[in-house]
A and B are shown apart, each in its own frame.
Chain A
Amino acid sequence: MHIHAYEKLWLAASVLLILLLLGSVTYGAVGPGVAMVSDSEQPVDATALDEDERFSEPRVEQVGENEYAAYVVAFQFGFQPDPIVIPEDSTVTFYVTSRDVIHGFEVAGTNANTMVVPGEVSEITVETDEPTEYGLICNEYCGAGHHVMEGKVNVVSQAEYENQTSGGDGE
């Protein structure tokens, strides 16, 4: 079969393009460690979150050296705790669940973004850098007040974080 030299050229280019796409996704997973939202969490009883040890009192707690867990409850129409205060330069795992309908959990302008399904716990782990304030929005239509459903994720300095937790926040 005769294939024109130019055609060989762009066939090779397409194969190269596919390899580049696959290669960069692989690089993302291996290098920076980009991962998907975990589905390993056990289901919870959405109607009895107040009896759940993690979600009866939505909070941020230290679970290891420089590792924090944030237990967040989404509801019509807001997030608890609000604001979610986490320290800089740390690894934070968000455990998010809903007590009513399907919500979204999107830290605006970042890659932290997951669906929040009642009865399920969405788990995402992120790494924080320097202190900043992020907006937190619901990106799944959840009812008449969907457009006002928002929260805050505040990344604060280590000192400020310790100050806040030892000072006893009123949550």
Chain B
Amino acid sequence: MGRNETAHAPADDVSGDTEEFDPIGTLTLIGIYFTILVLSWVYIYYIEFLGRDLVVVG
């Protein structure tokens, strides 16, 4: 049944480089998430933190 189908796939994967499973949606979501992370880090650290007055230097 379903087992037969899944048992089939790995054998394919190992031999060939063709990616049958193509989660482009997940890739897009992760890409957006990473962009947000990088932009907020740049804003928080370089603009908000370092841009403030009285940076503690010692």
- A residues with CB within 8 A of B: 2, 4-6, 9-10, 13, 17, 20-21, 24-25, 28, 32-38, 91, 93, 107, 109-112, 123-129, 132, 134
Contact = CB atoms under 8 A, between A and B. Distances in A.
A36 to B, nearest CB: 8
A35 B30 CA distance: 34
Nearest to A38: B58
Nearest to B57: A33
A24 B45 contact: yes
A126 B54 contact: yes
Contacts of B23: 6
Interface of B: 13-14, 19, 21, 23, 26-27, 30, 34, 37-38, 41, 45-46, 49-50, 52-58
B17 to A, nearest CB: 9
Most buried by B among A32, A107, A129: A32
Nearest to B26: A6
28 contacts: A2-B14, A4-B19, A4-B21, A5-B19, A6-B27, A17-B38, A20-B38, A20-B41, A25-B45, A28-B45, A28-B50, A32-B57, A33-B55, A34-B56, A34-B57, A109-B52, A109-B53, A111-B54, A112-B54, A112-B56, A124-B58, A125-B56, A126-B54, A126-B55, A126-B56, A127-B57, A132-B53, A134-B53
A9 B27 contact: yes
Secondary structure class of chain A's binding surface, majority of residues:
mixed
Contacts of A112: 54, 56
Contacts of A134: 53-54
A25 B38 CA distance: 14
